[in-house]
Amino acid sequence: MKRQLFIYGSGRHTVPFLKYMAEATGKQKPNLCFIPTASGEDQSYIDSFYEVCTQINVTPHVLSVWINSYDQKESFEEIIHKMDAIVVGGGNTLNMLAIWKAQGIDSALKSAYDNGVVMGGGSAGSLCWFNAGTTDSRPKELSIVHGMSFINKSHCPHYNSEKSRRPLYQNNILSGKLSDGYACDDRSAIHFINEQVQTSVSLNEENHSYYVHLKNGIIEEKQLENTIIS
How far from each other are the two terminal CA atoms of the chain, in whole angstroms? 29
Task: Please indicate whether residue 123 is annotated as part of the active site.
Answer: yes
Count Cα atoms within 13 angstroms, Cβ side, for 139: 0
Write the DSSP symbol of residue 193: E
Q: Are 225 and 200 in contact (CB under 8 A)?
A: yes
Residue 101 neighbours by CB distance under 10 Å: 12
Task: Please indicate whether residue 209 is annotated as part of the active site.
Answer: no
Catalytic site residue from 10, 39, 123, 200: 123
Catalytic site residue from 13, 61, 155, 158: 158
User: ∠ CA 220-225-226 to the nearest 5 degrees?
Assistant: 125
Active site residues: 123, 158
